[in-house]
Amino acid sequence: MKTKLTIEQKEANKLARKEAKKQAEEVARIEAEKNQPEVESLTITIEWKKSRTWGANPHAHAEINFKDNQGGPWGTGFFRTETDYTCSGCGYDKESTVIAQIFNDFMKGKLWSLGIDKLRGGNGSNDKGSAPYGIHLYSDNRPHFGGGIGTSCYYRISEYIGGKFEHIASGKTFDVYKYTDLQK
């Protein structure tokens, strides 16, 4: 004969299932970041559009060339274009914010490949690491590229992860940047 579970037991089982699901999602997120296809080059075009409230806001799109005809779930073949990067507001660097969004979407695998010890120091704290400002490591499971830090930080960040960052074109209402991976 089956015994009925008490309300407390049912609630405890529900919380255990919820926690197990949360942990599985975290493991899946980390694995997806670690297994991102390697980027050969990344071209970021930023168009500045006027806003009555916030002045000029960046609207960016990225053209990503993957190494070795990779692409996986991020695109078919070796090339992908993404266009939905923007931000608004004031009091921070909006251009580096959209650059960080793009780097976080396609370059987090580079951070994971460096190892946790090489990511320390980049968030501006005093954790005495060698990473440049703009590489954030709030916990061992959440390395990412920082936004609102100034676009000039991405030159040093790119060098640190094995690439080159260049400002290749500009005009009155646009800027174009290119990241090229230098590791073979």
Residue 21 falls within a domain, yes or no? no
Q: pLDDT tens digit string along 8-67? A: 998 999 999 999 999 999 999 999 999 999 999 999 999 999 988 888 999 999 999 988
With 0-12 / 13-18 / 19 or more C-beta atoms within 10 angstroms meaning exposed / middle / buried, residue 25 is exposed
In a domain, 25, yes or no: no
The string of pLDDT tens digits covering residues 81-137 is: 888 899 998 878 999 999 999 999 999 999 999 988 888 876 655 567 788 999 988
Tally of domains in the chain: 1
pTM of the model: 0.84
Distance, in Å, from the CA atom of 45 to the CA atom of 64, rounded to the nearest integer, reads 12
Placement of tokens 């646009």 in the chain: 174
Q: Is residue 2 part of a domain?
A: no
User: Residue 92 sits in which domain range?
Assistant: 35-181
Q: Answer yes or no: is 9 within a domain.
A: no
Please, which residues have CB within 8 angstroms of residue 68's CB and are 6 or more apart in sequence? Answer: 38, 78
Place of tokens 């559009």: 49
- Of the CA atoms within 13 Å of residue 102, those in its CB half-sphere come to 33
The first and second tokens of residue 109, run together, are: 């695998």
Stated as kind and residue range, the H or E segment containing 24 is helix 7-34
Q: What is the pLDDT of residue 54?
A: 86
Is 104 domain-assigned?
Answer: yes
Specify if 53 maps to a domain.
yes
In a domain, 96, yes or no: yes
